[in-house]
A and B are shown apart, each in its own frame.
Chain A
Amino acid sequence: GDSVTQMEGPVTLSEEAFLTINCTYTATGYPSLFWYVQYPGEGLQLLLKATKADDKGSNKGFEATYRKETTSFHLEKGSVQVSDSAVYFCALSHSGGSNYKLTFGKGTLLTVNP
């Protein structure tokens, strides 16, 4: 079945540091890939997505590129802020029909210190 593996946290960075959170997946066919973010005490919010190979999703300074050859979708940000402290989830789905289900990684806690 489908699975998503992301780097275990917690990740602790200083403000303005470069961020990478690794994500690899196992799936048949051509899934869509997502990064969701969960701020403390809140539900998940979609951060960015990519629906086909070589697509780059971007939002709020975060980027991730769909790499089919390495089955990866690593999240990057050039300069993190304290407000980026949150849990980040990588996820995939096979869209189409009625079975639009997400498979999530276990999440990576990011803490950014001033």
Chain B
Amino acid sequence: DVKVTQSSRYLVKRTGEKVFLECVQDMDHENMFWYRQDPGLGLRLIYFSYDVKMKEKGDIPEGYSVSREKKERFSLILESASTNQTSMYLCASSRATEPQYFGPGTRLLVL
């Protein structure tokens, strides 16, 4: 079975802190994705990566950056957390044209 793991299920941070969300997949997938999920808005793509060191902006990249130094790991970085970044963050991975597999999510609260 494909396994996508995220470093934390719940996280509480203060405004202005630098926040790292980590995602690891164990199936040698080329593609990895970061989404945020908000009530009434569904899932929105923040960034994705289709290869090591490659990244592309999604629909809402502002305030976020990403890093992919190894194929299995994709990190989402909030350079200076703000309260409007309080959300559920979901990581996903996939092989080239196959469906995406999702991690369990990280619920981030920024105070």
* A contacts, CB < 8 Å to B: 34, 36, 41-46, 49, 89, 95-96, 98-102, 104-107
Contact = CB atoms under 8 A, between A and B. Distances in A.
B77 to A, nearest CB: 20
23 contacts: A36-B102, A41-B104, A42-B105, A43-B4, A43-B90, A43-B102, A43-B103, A43-B104, A44-B90, A49-B99, A95-B97, A98-B51, A99-B56, A100-B96, A100-B97, A101-B45, A101-B58, A102-B33, A102-B43, A102-B100, A104-B42, A106-B40, A106-B42
B94 interface: yes
Contacts of B48: 101
B101 A46 contact: yes
B25 interface: no
Contacts of A104: 42-43
B99 A34 contact: yes
B41 interface: yes
B64 interface: no
Interface in B56-111: 56, 58, 90, 92, 94, 96-97, 99-105
Nearest to B107: A41
B105 A43 contact: yes
Interface of B: 4, 30-31, 33, 40-43, 45, 48, 50-51, 56, 58, 90, 92, 94, 96-97, 99-105
A34 B100 CA distance: 10
Interface centre among B30, B41, B43, B51 (most CB of A within 10 A): B43
Contacts of B51: 98
A44 B102 CA distance: 6
Contacts of B4: 43
Nearest to A36: B102
A100 B105 contact: no
